[in-house]
Chain A
């Protein structure tokens, strides 16, 4: 109970200071209604007003003790003003809706003109841009960025450049068997890759760049 009175007093104080909220006003009015004609809340409020008027030398101000009715009337007027006009011209409604539609249409046109089209490139472009934002990450452009300590290019495990992993293939070949490469075959494979790269580079348009794919060359003995 004491707490409730403190809250009401605080609300009264806030009302006098002009720092009240809607809750403060409602609290005071509710308390005054509950107490009826002999409301101590209203008498206290009235005294605050008189003191303020004396302080501000507003002695001629009419002090209307009927605060409750006056405040309720003020609240009623404010609510009436906040209500939207019941009638709005059809033209204004149409113009408002049309303006909003035009605005959104314009936004869409501008935004769509900036987007690339095409199925496959969109997914590539998204991560291409992302990769270029983080140049320190060793990850390929245009694709999902794995954690930095993960593989860079391709999530598909690939054979080591120095070890050939033979995998059984399910093909139309009769009785496919696992191909275990002998060291001689591995050496032959390396030579074939080298010859293929030579041919590709000699007939291509990228110069010697394809040789980046070739494994480390063994330095001749004695050098």
Chain B
């Protein structure tokens, strides 16, 4: 009985300690935003703000560094990406400020109206969650994770700057293997830079070879892709939408699909069968970071068909897409016979 007051004192002190600890762990005046909100702010920030930075790109045991310069001048969005290791090369693009891309709309949280009346959004295939806070390039950031809801895509992790909503870190990881495939992380980031765009090019030595790349593909809220390849996959991983089609003599038919965050392209080139050459199927797989390139040479009628799947998707998915490819004409003929 004499010890009962002592025990109560200990219990009371324990409860008081826990209360203070729980209170201390909560930020006093900062409410955590939702992952969806942060993601919606990210796309707009990347498009509309002026910023300069240096970031690292890691993949498969290698490390490269890049510089990036993004600014808006007279309503025109200018982007420059250049290497600071290796060759003095870079990529330059001009575009309109208010250009909404398919992927940009999906990242912003918009729902796309499909032709069949359905609506598509990123949340259909990814689970979004706020994973906490971090500090990158000397800036406080929110960590957002996008976990795939199936095995047909990789997971993503973003670190978004609290002040500017700009991207500070981007990680692609294989959820099945719990392995990071590539990581992009800023070491420095400056907003509202005063230096002119050309000064960035001169900084890294002349001459600097910069390749201009295609402008952004502006889309509306309704999903309406144009053009299609005669070779169609009869199976696609859920949630991937066709973004465009093109043809070239060198690469053949090309279709690109995206789920808003990841993408892959299907290249099909029909070649003449070489006399005496063994018409046996061949395949080869290459990867760089999260990018998978599956090359296949398959016999088709009297010729060989070269098929390439390039994208940040698992190799097994690339293979399944390859095996599902069917020439559209054959499908149409089959449908006609059934009638």
A positions within 8 Å CB-CB of B: 85, 88-89, 92, 95-96, 99-100, 102-103, 106-107, 110, 113-114, 116, 118, 120-121, 123-125, 128-129, 132, 138, 140-144, 150-159, 161, 164-169, 171-181, 185, 188-189, 191-193, 195-196, 198-209, 211-214, 216-220, 223
Contacts and interface: CB of A to CB of B under 8 A. Distances in A.
A212 B184 contact: yes
A120 B87 contact: no
Nearest to A174: B281
Contacts of A96: 4, 7-8
Given A100-B7, A217-B87, 11 more contacts: A100-B11, A128-B143, A142-B173, A152-B62, A152-B63, A152-B183, A157-B60, A167-B284, A196-B256, A212-B66, A213-B288
Nearest first, the 3 A-B pairs at minimum CB distance are: A179-B284, A140-B180, A151-B61
Contact of B213 (A156, A168, A198): A198
Contacts of B72: none
B57 interface: yes
Interface stretch (B189-197, B229-237, B243-251, B326-334): B243-251
A219 B87 CA distance: 8
A191 B250 contact: yes
Contacts of B214: 198-199, 202
A92 to B, nearest CB: 5
Interface of B: 1-2, 4, 7-8, 11, 14-15, 18, 21-22, 25, 42-43, 46-47, 55-64, 66, 68, 70, 79-81, 83, 86-89, 91, 93, 101-108, 127, 129, 131-132, 134-135, 143, 145, 147, 155, 157, 167, 169-171, 173-175, 177-184, 207, 209, 211, 213-217, 219, 243-244, 250-251, 254, 256, 258, 260, 263-265, 267, 280-291, 293, 295-298, 308, 310-311, 319, 323
A177 B281 contact: yes
B104 A204 contact: yes
A151 B11 contact: no
Contacts of A199: 214, 243-244, 254, 256, 263, 265
A216 B86 CA distance: 8
Contacts, number: 306
Contact of B280 (A92, A107, A110, A174): A174
A88 B1 contact: yes
B89 A217 contact: yes
A85 to B, nearest CB: 6
A205 B47 CA distance: 8
B22 A124 contact: no
Contacts of B296: 173, 179
A159 B131 contact: no
A159 B286 CA distance: 6
Contacts of B62: 152, 161
Contact of A106 (B18, B107, B258): B18
Contact of B209 (A152, A153, A200, A223): A223
* Most central of B70, B207, B216, B298 by chain A CB within 10 Å: B216
Given A128-B157, A195-B251, A209-B81, A178 B284 contact: yes
